[in-house]
Amino acid sequence: MSFVRLENVSVEFPIYQGSSRSLKKLLLATSTRGNLARDARDRVNVRALSGVSFELRSGDRFALVGANGAGKTTLLKVLAGVFEPTDGRIISHGHVTSLLDTSVGLNVDATGYENIILRGMYMGMHPREMAQRAPAIAEFTELGDYLEMPVRTYSAGMMVRLAFAISTCVAPDILVMDEWVSAGDARFLAKAQRRIEEFVRHSSILVLASHSLDLIEKWCSRGILLHHGQMLRIGPIEEVIASYRRLTEELTAMEEAQAAAE
């Protein structure tokens, strides 16, 4: 039984631009008043998420939909436990496996097999355990002899296969995925979908962020529409996608109207 509950979660972080990253600027700014003081406070606070609340339970396949910069990745990172909310509360139960980036724990100079062990370690699995699971992983990736080669030589799609196969070699309680998974080819995606469906039947939770509405429609049952870090809509996936389409249309219409007015 796994669940995740977010209550009014907000994430706000300062963006350190050149000058405020500099120690000299900060020291000078605190010792001398005037123009320099503004330099140190020059940082821009970004409210990447604001007041996001929802609850996920076993068997949920949840999609995050929204335009670029809507806060999807930030929300995924919050769910993965990488970012801690600056406000609000998260309650979660179950082990989270995050697939935010294919490169996690993949060392491009090491071979596919070595990377299976390495990435497994970051997932908290002992190398001995991973060695036992390696054949099953190798089979899923269908990479064959490529697994003996350095990952540097892999294509993006091959890396996705490897990363996905390793991360899902044991059923995660909560699987958090970013859109890169769509770099795989159609056959791989079908295979991945079958695997995820199996997890979800065994009471796992899937959270997927993607721009590919087709993929989301196929994989997810519920979803949330984010816009500028706020929840616009939450509900069955068809409705969320419909809202997203409408939002995109409206934004485009508004831009056109503005352009026409000028």
Partner 1 sequence: MAAWDSTAKDRLAPKGRWTRRGGHAIAPTVALFPGSDRGKRRDQELGAVGQVTQFEAISEPGTDRIFDFPAPSTRVRCAVADICDGFGQSWLWMRLAHQDLRLRYRGSILGPFWQTITTVILISSMGVIYAKLFRVELHDYLPMLTVGLISWVFVSGMITEGCGTFDSERNIIQQVKLPLSLHAYRLVYRNVLVLAHSFVIIPIVLIIFPHPIAWIRLLEIVPGMLLLMINGVAVSILLGMVCARFRDVPPIVASIVQVVFFLTPIFWPPTALGKNAWWALLNPLYAAIDVVRAPLLGIPTSPHSWTIMAIVTGINCVAAFMFFSRFRARIAFWV
Rounded distance, CA 184 to CA 186, Å?
7
Touching partner 1, residues 169-228 (CB under 8 A): 170-173, 198-199, 202, 227
Rounded distance, CA 102 to CA 95, Å?
19
- Could you give the angle at the alpha carbon of 186 between the alpha carbons of 170 and 208, nearest 5°? 50
For the record, the structure tokens of 169 come out as 């070699």
Stretch that binds partner 1, among 62-70, 88-96, 186-194, 210-218 (CB under 8 A): 88-96
Report the nearest approach of partner 1 to the CB of residue 6 (Å): 9
Report the nearest approach of partner 1 to the CB of residue 215 (Å): 21
Task: By CB under 8 A, name the one of 82, 131, 156, 190 that touches partner 1.
Answer: 82
Task: By CB under 8 A, name the one of 63, 64, 65, 125 that touches partner 1.
Answer: 125
Which residues, 6+ apart, have CB-to-CB distance to 169 below 8 Å?
120, 130, 133, 136, 137, 140
Binding of partner 1 by 259 (CB under 8 A)? no
How many residues bind partner 1 (CB under 8 A)? The answer is: 72
134 to 163: interface string for partner 1, x by CB under 8 A? ------------------------------
| Pairing relationship of beta strands 222-227 and 230-236 according to DSSP bridges | antiparallel
